[in-house]
Amino acid sequence: MSPNWKSYIESSPDVLKGKPRIKGTRIPVSLILGYLAEGRATNDIIKEFPDLRKEHISACLEYARDLAEYQVA
C-alpha cells in the first residue's frame, strides 16, 4: 500500500515558490517524478539525494496519482 503522501509532501509560499516538495527539504516533487519518468531507479535517486527514503518516492507517485484523478466540480 502506498504511503499517505500528505505525511511526506508539503508546500509553502516561502520555499521553492510554493512548489510541492519533500517535507523538511528543498527537493521538489517534480524533480523526483522527472527522474522516474526518465527511467531512473529508486535506489539511484536515493544515492543522489541521501536524505530521501523509498517512502518519499512512493509519496510522490501517490501525489501524482491523486492529481491525475482530480475532478473539477
- Residue 2: the pLDDT is 54
pLDDT tens-place string over residues 17-69: 999 999 999 999 999 999 999 999 999 999 999 999 999 999 999 999 998 98
User: Which one of 3.40.50.300, 1.10.10.10, 3.30.70.3170, 3.40.718.10 gives the CATH number of domain 5-69?
Assistant: 1.10.10.10
Read off φ and ψ for residue 21, nearest 5 degrees: -145, 165
Given CA atoms 26, 28, 33, 35 in this order, what sign does their dihedral have? negative
Q: For residue 28, what is the DSSP state?
A: B
Domain positions in the chain: 5-69
Note the pLDDT of residue 16.
96
pLDDT at 3: 61
Mean pLDDT of 11-19: 96
